[in-house]
Structure 1
C-alpha cells in the first residue's frame, strides 16, 4: 500500500517560516483573491496565499516576497478563496463506490476532507473490511479520515450480521494511522442501559484521545436522551427538527445537519441558527449517505452548503459549518478547515459564494481539479477475492419462498405494514386489512411485499412482511444487497416470481441492485465488493444507478431517491418499523413483533 502522506507541520515549519519571511520561494502562490476567513468570518479582498510543502505558509495582501523562479502562480482574479470543504459524517459505501472512486467523484465538487464511518463493510467483512477501507483511504490525494465502526450488529439480538465488532477490535483500530475516532454509536438503547461492551468501546476511544460519534434516532428528548449524552457521544446527525438540534448543542454535542440523497434534515433544523440565534460554531453540515448519481450530477458538500444558504443561512456561516467547525470538532483545527498558516493547503476558487461553482480545487498544495475535471490520480487498492465473494444464499430461491401463509381459515387479516416516509430515514408503523387467497395473505393497492433474504451464511432463510409508500404497479420486484446495516438482501415487489428472479440474479453477479418486471430484468447495478461497492468508474456506476432510478419510475415509483429508502428498510435502530432476519422489528420497543395482528371476519 502506497500512502499519500503530507509532511507534518513540525517538520515543515522551518520551510514555512522561511517562505513567509521571504528567505525561500513558495511552491505555489494564489494571487489576487478574496480571502474567505472562517476564523473571523470576514471577506478580505486583494489577498494572496503562499504554499510550500503542501501547507499554507503565508496569507496576506502581497506574497511577492514568496515568489521564486519556479513558483507556480495561480491568478485568482478576484475570485473567493474558500477552504476545502469537509464532510463531518458519511459512509463511502452509500456512494456504491470504493474510496478511490468516491474521492474521484467528489474532489471536483470541492470536498477535500471526509470523516467516514465504514460500518457497512464492517457488517459484511468485519475488521478486515474496515482495514481495507482505511488503507485505500490513506492512498488518496485528499484527506479521508476513518472512524472505527462501533455497532456491528447495530442492535444485538434483533439482527445477525456477517461479522461482529467488539471492544478489542476498537482498541486495535485506534492504533491505525488514519483512525480519527469511533463511528456512530447507533445502539442508543444499549448506551442508555449501560451495556458493558459499548462502554468499553467508548472507553477505548477516549483513552486514545479520539472522538465518539453519535446516533440518537429517537424523538424522546427526555431522560433517555440525557442518559445517551452522558455516555460520551460528541455529535449526532439523526436530528430531524429544530428541537433536536437545540437539545444536542445544549448538552455539549455538535449538531450535524445532513443533506444526503434522500435525507433532507437541514431546513427543519437550521432555524436554530437563523431564527433562534444559537452559536453556529456548534453546528456541522454533513451528507451521511449520498449515492453515485447525486455525486456526479448534483454535487457533494457544495450541494449541502448551497442548500443551507437557500434555507436562509448566511453564506459565511454555512461555510464555517462545512470547514472550520468540522475540523475543530475532530481536533484538527490547526491542521485543516481554514486558510491560515500551517494548515494543509486545501483551497477552492469560486466566483460566487451563494451558488458556489467550484472552479479550481487545490488539495495539499496541488491543483486537483479545474472546471469539474479531476487532475490527480486516485489509486485503487488490490481488493482481495474474499471481498468479492460475499453473497451466499445457500440455494436457489423460488416464488414459494416469498409466500406469507394466513392463519387457518382466515379470509381477511389485519397486518403490520412498514410505511416509507419520503426524504426521511424514519418509517411509520402502519396497519392494513389484507385479503387471503388460497391460504396466502396478499398485498393489495399501494402495499407491496418486502422480504429479507439471509446472505452471509447461506442459511436460505427468508423473512417476509409488507411495505407501503413506493407506489409500484404491475408485476415487479427490486432486490438489493445494500441493506443497512446488516446488509443481507432486501427484496420489495408485487410479484413473488419476480422477487425470486431478482434475488437469484444478485447471487449470480455477487451483489448489487436489480429491478425486474414481468420476468425481465430492467436495470442492474453490479456491486461486487462486499455486495456494497463497485470498483468501476464513478461515472459508469452513476449511469447504471440513474438507469435504475428511471426503471423504478417506470414501475410506478415517484419517491425522491427511493433506492435510499429501499436500502434502509432493515435498519433496526431507526423507528418505527423495520425488517430483519429475526422478523419484523418494532424499533419503538426494540422487540420482534408478529406480522399478523388479527384475523378479520
Structure 2
C-alpha cells in the first residue's frame, strides 16, 4: 500500500469539466492530486470535509500588487486565507520607478509566501513616450527575465499606437513572449472594435478594461479572454457580467487589477468577485470555474484550476457555495495556518523621490471669464469626464472654487529631479480645506497633489518627499498625516496590519478636510495621471486629451 501525504474525505468536489459537484475523496501526494485508488493508499494525514464543498484555489487573473500598498509576501498573508492561492501580477508600477531592480524585488519578496505569484513582464515602461518616469525597459532588457520560473508572459499592452504602427521594440516584446510559449495581455481602454482586432492580430489575447456591455461584446467578437474587474475604484463587474452566457462563459475569469489592502480586508479579493457574480445570476459552479480553470487556461497554466489528477493541490473548502464562506485553504497539498506566514518584507533601500518644486511654481496664471478644461471625476471608475468651466481668477491667478468644487491639481516629476511639472483643474474631490499628495500616480508614478491652496499643496508634497514616498493629507491648521511608502514610493515596508492602520489614518484625515464623497479619494487621484485611459488626464508635461492624443492648454482658445 502506497503512503501518501493527505486524504480529504467526505467532500463535495467540484468537477470543473462536468461543471457539477460530486461526492468523492481527494488523494494528494507531493503537492499534487493523484488518481483515485482509495484501497491502495495510506495517508499520513486525513481531513474529514464533513460534507463541505471543495473547489479549486482562486486565481486573480490580473493584479498590480503594488496597488494594495503592501509587498507581495504581506498580501499573501491576507488573500490566501480568503481562498486566493494564485495571482497573475504585472509589476509595471514598480518597474516604472525602479526598472529591472524593481521587478526582481517583487519576484524575490513573493518567494517568501505560499501564494503563487506569476509575473507578466511589463510591456509599457514607460507607459507613454511623452512623460518622465523612472526607467525604460526595451525588449532586450526584458528578455533575460524569461529565465525566472515565475515569469509566464507579457503584461498589458497599453501603447496602441506602437501596435498600430508595428513599432519594432513593441513587436519584439510581443513576439518574445509568444516564442516562449506564453500569452500577451491587452489593455484596450478606449479602443474601437477595429483597434481591438489589431491587438488580436498581433497575438494579444486578453483584456480587462471593459466598463460597459458594448465594450465587452466588442472583445467577444474578436475572441479575447476577458477578466471581469472589481477593484477599489474600478467597479466594473456589475456593468459587464450580463455579457456572460452558457456559450461564452469559458472566455471569462476574474481580476482585481488595483485594490487597496483595506478594501481587501473589508470585502475580499477574488472571493468577492465570485460572490458578486453569483448575486448577479451566475451559477455557483460556473462562478468557481471562472475563478480557477478559466483563469488558468487564459494564462496557459496547465497544472492549475481543477481538482483532478496531475493538478496542483490548491483547494478551498467552503460550507455554502452561494456565500463563498471559506473555511479551510490547502495550498500545494498543505493545510494553511499561521506558521506559513512568518515572513517580513524584504528591504528596499533606494530613495526614489527627488524633486525641487518651489511654492511659487504652483501659481496658475489664467485669463478671466474664459472657459477652462477641467478633469471630472467619475466615482468608482478610472475614466474621467472632460468638463469645460469658467473658474475664479484673482489678479490673473486661479483661485480654488470651493462652491463648485473645482480645485488645482499638480503632477511633479520625482525620479530624476528634472524640475518638470504640470498643473490642471479637477472637479469632484469635495475638499473644503487642505490638500492630498501621493507618489502613487499611474503609471509614471510621479507626485500628484490636489488641494484648496498652493500652500497646502506644497506642504503635502514636501511631507511625502521627506519620508521617501507615500500619501499625505494636510489641513489649514498645519496638521499633517502621512502614510510612508518607502518601497519605491508605492508600498509600505510594514506588516499588512500596520499598513492598513496607516491607511485608515489618512482616510480619517481626508474626511476631516472634505465633504461627503462615495469613492476612494487616494486611488482615484492616482489614476488622474494615466493618459492611456480616457478622457483627459494630467502629466508632468501638462494636460493630455486622450481622444485627441495630444496635450491641450488649460484654457480653451
1:433 counterpart residue number = 390
More deviation, 280-289/131-140? 131-140
Give aligned pairs, total.
Answer: 554
2:495 is aligned, of 537, 562, 566, to: 537
Report whether the alignment pairs 1:391 with 2:353. yes
Name the counterpart of 1:442: 399
How far did 1:311 drift? Answer: 1.5
- Among 200, 206, 211, which residue is 1:229 paired with? 200
Question: What's the C-alpha RMSD, in Å, of the aligned pairs?
Answer: 1.6
Matched, 1:416 2:373: yes
Q: 1:322 aligns with which of 268, 291, 304?
A: 291
1:384 Cα offset (Å): 4.0
Q: CA deviation at 1:282?
A: 0.7
1:351 matches 2:323: no
Instruction: State the distance in 2 between where 1:81 and 1:24 align.
Output: 24
Partner of 2:34: 57
Q: What per-residue deviation string (whole Å, max 9, x for no partner) do you get for residues 487-545 of structure 1?
A: 00100111211101000000101111011111433532111000000121112111221
How many angstroms does 1:37 deviate by?
1.5
Residue 170 of structure 1 contacts residue 205 of structure 1 at CA under 8 Å; is this kept in 2? no
Output the TM-score relative to the length of structure 1: 0.89
Deviation track 1:259-298 (CA, whole Å, cap 9, x = no partner) reads: 1111111122111124xx5420111111101111012221
The structure 1 residue matched to 2:122, chosen from 131, 149, 163, is 149
* Aligned equivalent of 1:239, options 206, 210, 215: 210
Superposed displacement of residue 460, structure 1: 3.1
1:383 Cα deviation from its structure 2 partner = 2.7
Equivalent residues of 1:100, 1:378 under 8 A apart: no
- Tell me which moved more, 136-145 or 298-307: 136-145
Looking at structure 2, the residues matched to 259 and 382 of structure 1 have their Cα atoms a distance apart, in angstroms, of 29
Q: Aligned equivalents of 1:538 and 1:507: distance in 2? A: 23
CA gap of 1:315–1:273, structure 2 versus 1, over 3 A, is same
Which stretch has the larger CA shift, 347-356 or 128-137?
Answer: 128-137
Q: What does residue range 147-546 of structure 1 map to in structure 2 within 5 Å?
A: 147-157=120-130, 159-218=131-190, 220-221=192-193, 223-274=194-245, 277-333=246-302, 335-369=303-337, 374-377=338-341, 379-380=343-344, 382-386=346-350, 389-393=351-355, 395=356, 397-398=358-359, 400-406=360-366, 410-444=367-401, 445-473=404-432, 475-521=433-479, 523-546=481-504
Query: How big is each residue's C-alpha offset from its partner over 1:101-130, in whole Å with a ceiling of 9 and x where there is no partner?
Result: 011111111100110000000100011111
Asked if 1 retains the 8 angstrom alpha-carbon contact of 2:189 and 2:533, the reply is yes
State the Cα deviation string for residues 183-227 of structure 1 (Å, max 9, x = none): 100112221222222111101111111110100111522x22222
Q: Scaled by the length of structure 2, what TM-score is found?
A: 0.96
After superposition, the Cα gap between the structure-2 partners of 1:423 and 1:487, relative to the gap in structure 1 and judged at 3 Å, is same
* Alignment check: 8 A CA contact 1:477 1:516 kept: yes
Q: Distance in 2 between matches of 1:315 and 1:559?
A: 30
CA distance in 2, matches of 1:322, 1:533: 27
Could you tell me how far apart the structure 1 residues matched to 2:138 and 2:342 are?
A: 32
